[in-house]
Every structure is written in structure tokens, then in C-alpha cells.
Amino acid sequence: MNAVILFLTSFPPLETRRRFAGVGWLLTLIGGVLMLGAPYLPWAYSSDALDDMTYLGGPSGLQFFFLGIAVLVVASAIAGRLTGQMGTPNPPARAPLNLVGAASGAALGGLIYIALALIMIAADGGGLVYVEWGGWIALAGALVAYLGTRLLPPGPVPTLGRSRTPGWLGILAVIFLVGVALLVAAYLLDENDAGSFVVSAALVLAVLLVIMRSGLGSWLGAVGRTHRHVLVFAAFVAAFAFPFTQDGSDANMSIATQVLIFAATALGLNIVVGQAGLLDLGYIAFLGAGAFTAAVLSNSAFSTIGWHPPFPVVVLISAVVAGTLGLVVGTPTLRVAGDYLAIVTLAFGEIFRLVMINLDGSDGPNITRGSNGIPGIPDLNLFGFDFGQSHEILGVTITRFGNYFFLLLLVLALIILVFSRLSDSRIGRGWVAIREDEKAAEAMGVNTFGLKLLAFAGGAALAGVAGAVKAHVDVSVTPDQYIFLESAFLLAAVVLGGMGTIVGVLVGATLLKLMPEKLRFVSEYRLLIFGLLLVIMMRFRPEGLIPSSRRQLEFHESDEELAEHLDAELTGGPPDSGEPAGAPARRSAGEETR
């Protein structure tokens, strides 16, 4: 089994790939042709599996998606042969797009897609006997194409990302990309069948693999950086337009609001972990502090304090309480580091939960009503706008959760603004210096303790803001909502998405919050699947899904093949200076880190 995994995940030596370049191209093409024909064959014995894949000559919607992946494989293989990138032992060093990468991304995406589709068919039917012969042909074609790409020499360095793009074209590309992302998000969230959701998500993964491996992703990244303000504005416009795509679905908007709360909290943790490099395993306590503060100060009949200030004041108080709690906890504990800091923060998270249980009027003052918590928290009413009522906007019904979705977008925008400003300031550079080497930073005059304490308190305050809104969204607040497992998921969102980045953390938080909601049929195995995904990510992409360039270079500094590509990109061709492979790339990584 280990040998099979190693064969599927590692490239043969470069000389071997050059010797069998023609065979690799032929296998890629043959596999792609098999993939083209497979959607017209029956994949499932029962019509109940996925979206009825029982017809011969009549592809279903999900089979058409697989057909699109097959077209990408065949088109990349043919275009690669015509341009000399595929089938030759010495492909060109540079080209606008890396067609070898496009073919390998499409083949890998197709293999994942068909494997998940067959698993879902077997799960719906009760066994692999429900998989028809067309499904096995599709799997064989994807496997042949994937193995063919493994025999191909590495493709050229894509130059499209470094080319000059007209401003109008870049703006149109940004708007188109954001619009597609909105439609994909609306489609996935509206997909109620778990199997169809999983397979559709695999299609998105396949497209992303093609984009990233072909070099188109670098071009989109360059365009996004050039038109950053347009990208941010378009992203928030798309986010505000999202409720209008749900046709008044309260269930979908409930999931969306929880995703935003989770993402806003994860961004606060990103300051502590991603920027300052402090491992916090009890961060959920700060979210709970903000939520309990808002609940106690609300107009709930179960509120234990008679003062009920306006909600903007409650938000400020929640942030101050959570931030103060961060200072109280951080002042004595931040003098330790590493595993000891992780143990202390883990203990703090459990202490917070137990204290909230004990504040029941029996073991302590009656503030939180103990394990019963504070239920019946009323909906917000800001400036005459009742968040608990549905509203008609532009002919579309916006439900209660839709109202809170808009409010949470504003909160998220505030947190993103604070995070980005801090990251670009001297404080942010000091955090990065502490994360890279605390002793060196202290020797250079950086106030390491003060900056670490600021990161701890600032991240806690942002979590408190999110918690204040969460209390009204959830209607009730109880101590058992804030357990260690929630802290672990928040930390996983930061690590999986990409520490120190904004988009990466948002993507990681969305995936970790959305997947459990859509995969309730495997709820018993959720932690097992989550653990496997963590292992796979740490093995193949430890820098995260959308990492910063600095961390990506750090994690892959010893990857000789990647170093050769970086050398070619930095020097304009293959390294020929007599230095070891990857030396210019490593110097660049060091300069960027400094």
C-alpha cells in the first residue's frame, strides 16, 4: 500500500521522464480519450445514485462535468504536442502557459472526481456492485491519464503572470472571477444531496488544479495585486449579493452566517498564530467572553444585569472585556513559549468554560446562570430595523439570517481592515520578526513581550466583537458551546488556509464550517476524515491552501525541482552559473524574509 501511494504521489527521476516523454504523452492522450467517452456510458445500476447515471448515451449533469474535465485533458495534450511542451525530452524553458501542468491538474482532478463519484454511488446503493462498467472505464481513463502526466518532463516556466496586461482586461478578469465565485458558492450551498455536493466540490478542485498548475493562477494573482481595490470592492459586492441568490432559504443563510462568525473569529486568531507565531489552543474562550457579555447586557428575560445599553455600546464592551481577559491571561503566560504556551492556553480555555458553569448563583455569583446559560436573547433592532423580521428587498425575501449576514459582513470588513493595517505597519513587521526568530528580534531592539501581549489582546478583542453578534444570532449562549474542539477547528482553519493571510484564512474557515453541514451523513466519521485531511495537507501542502509567498518559499526550500523552476523564473532560464540548484531561489527567500 505504501509503495502504491509513493508511486502515485512522487515523480520518477528527471532522466526517466525525459526518456519516456513520448510514452507519457501517449498515455495522457489515451486516458483523456477514455474519459471523453465514459460520460456516455452508464455509471450506476440504480437511478437513486447521485443524479441518475444509468443511461447509455445520455449523460447526467455530473457526468457532463466529468466530460468537461476530459476535454481539458485532451486539449492540453494536443496543444502541448503542437507547441513542443509534451512528448519531447527537452521542452522549452519558458512559455505563456504550462500545458504539462494543465494536463496533470486536469488528470488529477478527474481522478479525484471519478473516485469520489464511485464512492458516492457505492454508498447510495449499498456496495461497489452498484457501480456499472462505464464508471470503471472512467476511473481507468483518469488513472491512465494521470500516470501519463507523471512520465512527462516538467513543463516550461509560465510567463503569462509576468506579462503586461491592459488595465481594462485586468478589471474585467477580476469582475468575472468574483462573479464565478459567487455563482459557485450559491450552487454548492444550494446542493442538498450530500453525494452531489461532494462530487461538485471535486469539480471545483479540478478546475483550481488546472488554473494553478498551468500558470493561469499566477496571472490572476498578478492581476489581483494590480487591481487590489477593485478586487476587494467586487468581493464585498458579491458577498452582499449572496443572499439574493438563495430565494429566501433560511437554512442556507443560517449556514452562511455561521461561516462568517467562524471566519471573523479565525481572522482574530490569525493575528496570534499567523503573525506573531503564538500557539493558542484556548482561543474559543475569547469568543465566548464576547458572547456572554452581550447576552448578559441584552434585553433577555433571563439576563442577570439590569443595564441594557444600545448594541454598538455592547459591542465595544464585549471587545474590551475579551481584550482585557487576553491581557490578564497573556501577561503571566507569554513569558513561556512553544509547547508550554500551548498547554497554558489549553488550560485557560477549559478554565473559562468551567467558570461560566460555576457563575450560577450557587457556586458563585449568578451572572451566566451556569450550565443553563442565557436563552431568549432578543433580535437586534438598530435604527428601527428589526433583524428578526423578513424584509422584501428588490423583490427578494431576506430572512432573519440574511439580515444578520449583512451585519456580519460589516463586522468582517472591520476585522479585515484592522488585520491588514496592523500587518502592514511596524507592529506587523515586529510580529513577523518574533515569529521567525524571537531572540534575533529582541537583539535588534524589538519589544518582543509588548508585541506578543498586543497580539494576544488584539486578537481576543476581535473575537469578542464576533461573539457579541453571535449571541444574538444563536438566541442563546451556553458554556458547552465553547469547548476545546472549537478552538482546534479555529486553529485548523488558520493552518489549512494559510497562516498570515486574509484570503487563505477565509477559505479555510469556509471549508471547515461548510463541510460538516453538508456531510451530515458521515457525521460519525467527521473527526476521522478531518484528521486524514490534516495529514494529507501537512504532507503535500504544509504552507496552506493560499499561503503567503514567504512561507511558501520557506516550506519548499529543499524541493530541488521547485527550486529549478524558481531559478528559471528569477534568472530567465535554467541555472548555469555553477551554483547548486535552487541557490538563487534560496537567496531570494532569505532576502524576502529579512
pLDDT at 196: 84
Read off the pLDDT band of 11 (50, 70, 90).
low
Read off the pLDDT band of 320 (50, 70, 90).
very high
Domain segments of the chain: what residues?
Answer: 2-237, 248-547, 556-593
**222 burial level (CB within 10 Å; 0-12, 13-18, 19+):** middle
Q: How many CA atoms lie within 13 A of 117 on its CB side?
A: 34
Give the Cα separation of 263 and 173 in Å (integer). 26
Residues 6+ apart with CB under 8 A from 383: none
Between CA 109 and CA 119, with CA 115 as vertex, the angle to 5 degrees is: 145
C-alpha grid cell, residue 309: 445599553
Bridging pattern class, strands 396-398 and 391-393? antiparallel
pLDDT at 34: 94
pLDDT at 578: 40
**pLDDT surpasses 60 at 425:** yes
Q: How many CA atoms lie within 13 A of 332 on its CB side?
A: 6
pLDDT at 556: 59
Give the Cα separation of 156 and 153 in Å (integer). 9
Residues 6+ apart with CB under 8 A from 402: 243, 246, 253
Between CA 218 and CA 224, with CA 219 as vertex, the angle to 5 degrees is: 95
Beta partners for residue 396, in sequence order:
393
**pLDDT surpasses 50 at 591:** no
Report yes or no: 522 and 530 within 8 Å, Cβ to Cβ.
Answer: no
The predicted-structure confidence for 93-106, as pLDDT tens digits, reads as follows 888 899 999 999 99
Read off the pLDDT band of 593 (50, 70, 90).
very low
C-alpha grid cell, residue 324: 482585557
Give the Cα separation of 120 and 202 in Å (integer). 12
Give the Cα separation of 147 and 111 in Å (integer). 10
**pLDDT surpasses 50 at 177:** yes
The alpha carbon of 522 is separated from its chain's Cα centroid by a whole number of angstroms, namely 21
pLDDT at 67: 92
Residue identified by cell 482586461 is: 169
Which of 284, 171, 182, 266 lies closest to 228 in space, CA to CA?
A: 171
404-413, 439-448, 500-509 — which one is most confidently predicted on average?
404-413
Number of Cβ atoms within 10 Å of the Cβ of 520: 9
Q: What is the mean pLDDT of residues 293-312?
A: 88
Least confident of 41-50, 326-335, 554-563: 554-563
The alpha carbon of 519 is separated from its chain's Cα centroid by a whole number of angstroms, namely 17
pLDDT at 576: 40
pLDDT at 553: 65
pLDDT at 550: 67
SS (H, E, C) 320-372: HHHHHHHHHHHHHHCCCCCHHHHHHHHHHHHHHHHHHHHCECCCCCECCCHHH
Which of 451, 466, 447, 508 lies closest to 278 in space, CA to CA?
A: 451
pLDDT at 558: 52
pLDDT at 248: 66
- Report the predicted TM-score, pTM, of the whole model to 2 decimal places: 0.83
Read off the pLDDT band of 316 (50, 70, 90).
very high
Read off the pLDDT band of 341 (50, 70, 90).
confident
Least confident of 24-33, 35-44, 210-219, 548-557: 548-557
pLDDT at 284: 92
Report yes or no: 574 and 163 within 8 Å, Cβ to Cβ.
Answer: no
* Per-chain mean pLDDT for the chain: 83
pLDDT at 154: 86
Report yes or no: 156 and 85 within 8 Å, Cβ to Cβ.
Answer: yes
pLDDT at 551: 67
Strand, helix or coil at 445? coil
Residues 6+ apart with CB under 8 A from 481: 288, 291, 474
**pLDDT surpasses 90 at 289:** yes
pLDDT at 261: 92
**pLDDT surpasses 90 at 128:** no
C-alpha grid cell, residue 216: 493561469
Read off the pLDDT band of 534 (50, 70, 90).
confident
Percent of the chain with pLDDT over 70: 90
Bridging pattern class, strands 391-393 and 385-386? unpaired
pLDDT at 559: 52
The predicted-structure confidence for 221-258, as pLDDT tens digits, reads as follows 888 888 888 888 888 889 888 888 877 678 888 888 99
